[in-house]
Structure 1
Amino acid sequence: MSRSTEPPVVLITGANRGLGRALAQSFATAGATVLAACRDPASATFAPGQGAIRPLPLDAGNPDSIAALALALAGQPVDILVNNAGIRGAMGGIDTLEPGDFGAVMAVNALGPLLLTRALRPNLLAGRRRVVAMISSSSGSMTEGLDPDGDYAYRASKAALNVMTLKLGYDFPDLTCLLFHPGWVRTEMGGPEATVDADTAANGLTRLILAARPQDSGTFRRWNGDPMGW
């Protein structure tokens, strides 16, 4: 895989708000061309002077929407894919767990990234960097993911994402597949008491992703570069 000083093309899902929006702005500030995929591109507003950011429609939990995005991007090289879109789902614990909610969370947080990576693999292979970055969570860690929150679906979805990312890296050594815990981020999902602001997390993740090498494939790290326990 050749690397180039040319600005990379970066596709980010869930890019209209929260961490996804901060990631889009961070990559654009670093000089990347950003494809900002989100459910409602019309709602995706970015700060002036943020470089080339192109909003695109994507419902990350809908296979038809994923296929439509891949068709729209046919022949377009993509250097870096950041699978960031995610939902929390119900948090009431095992007694109130609903199968429909559990399935919806798994569809967006686990199956969606897998299907999108598969659909865009030709685009990634046409790119120069061939990096797939999955925004996971400490909630998906077997060693660090236990606390009183009752979000069974969210934890299961992130654990599934972790093992699927390892499997993708094993099956496709031409891709550099990375996992990241962004921290407890102050967003609509993370809430106002979270300890890391979105811009700080995004800037740290951007640096790590842009610096990624093939030998980093299969690693799980925090936004600041520290290793995460599995």
Structure 2
Amino acid sequence: MARVLITGANRGLGRELTRLYTRNGHEVIACCRDPDARGADLAGDISWLPLDLADEAAIRAFPALLGGKAIDILIHNAAIRGATGGLAEVGFVDFAQVMRVNAAAPLILTHMLRPNLMAGERRVVAMISSRAGSMTEGLDPDGDYAYRCSKAALNMGARKLAYDDPELTVLLLHPGWIKTDMGGPEAELDVREAARGLAARIDAAGPKDSGSFRAWDGTPIAW
């Protein structure tokens, strides 16, 4: 069984991935800003740890909380949306915060956890990206300037990481438009179906898949 570390594990997709992996017998290290707010409906082999992805010092100190534990699969799920309107809503503070959490934090955290990943057997890093970050497929009437730019930056960062570090299998995954707090009630996809599809992509991944960008159902996403 694998040891899986998931960020943003207390809600939405992260919570469902935590539920799925523990149900399937894996050990999960579940991370979020406030583990005390995680609720009581998750069972299984779960260790909850605090992690604020907006705090660089917290990210760099985080490996000490693991005590050298090996990690087989690292799932970067946590993200923020920022201002949802058009260009009139773009501001320096909001834009920088979204880029910090969605693009910089996953890369820095991966670097900090590389020794733990190298001690594991799978060495898979799954970045939950979005079709919204695709230059080809990411255009629609919604605004989300900061969110789209952050996912495009994450895509480039993950592609660069896959190129630089062939000992890791780095995946970029689009979860679909899912019914979560971020996706809203009008979304097309149930979070359980999305989680199952993402887990299938992650569990089947090997070195040949590193640097790829796919949807939850395996469909390739254009850059």
Question: Which bin holds the TM-score, normalised by the shorter protein?
Answer: over 0.9
Does 1:91 find its partner at 2:89?
no
**1:12-161 → structure 2 map (5 Å cutoff):** 12-45=6-39, 47=41, 50-161=43-154
Distance in 1 between the 2:119 and 2:150 partners?
29
AA aligned opposite 1:213: G
Worse overlay, 148-157 or 65-74: 65-74
Distance in 2 between the 1:78 and 1:11 partners?
7
Distance in 2 between the 1:39 and 1:78 partners?
20
AA aligned opposite 1:87: I
Residue 154 of structure 1: how far off its partner (Å): 0.2
Q: Deviations over 1:94-124 (max 9, x none)?
A: 1221100000000110001011000000000
Worse overlay, 128-137 or 67-76: 67-76
Contact persistence 1:220–1:229 (CA under 8 A): yes
Task: Give unpaired runs (5+ residues) of structure 2.
Answer: none
Number of residue pairs aligned between Structure 1 and Structure 2: 223
Does 1:185 find its partner at 2:178?
yes
Distance in 2 between the 1:46 and 1:27 partners?
17
Report the TM-score, using the length of structure 2 for normalisation: 0.97
Q: Which runs of 4+ in 1 moved over 4 A?
A: none
Distance in 2 between the 1:147 and 1:158 partners?
15
Question: Which of 155, 158, 177 is matched with 1:162 structurally?
Answer: 155
Task: Give unpaired runs (5+ residues) of structure 1.
Answer: 1-6
Give the percent of matched residue pairs that are identical in Structure 1 and Structure 2.
Answer: 57
AA aligned opposite 2:94: D
Report the TM-score, using the length of structure 1 for normalisation: 0.94
AA aligned opposite 2:220: P
Distance in 2 between the 1:19 and 1:137 partners?
13
- Which SS does the other structure have where 1:34 is aligned? strand
Distance in 1 between the 2:201 and 2:89 partners?
38
Residue 63 of structure 1: how far off its partner (Å): 0.9
- Which SS does the other structure have where 1:170 is aligned? helix
- Which SS does the other structure have where 1:201 is aligned? helix
Find the counterpart in structure 2 of residue 3 from structure 1: none
AA aligned opposite 1:13: T
AA aligned opposite 2:191: A
CA RMSD of aligned residues (A): 1.0
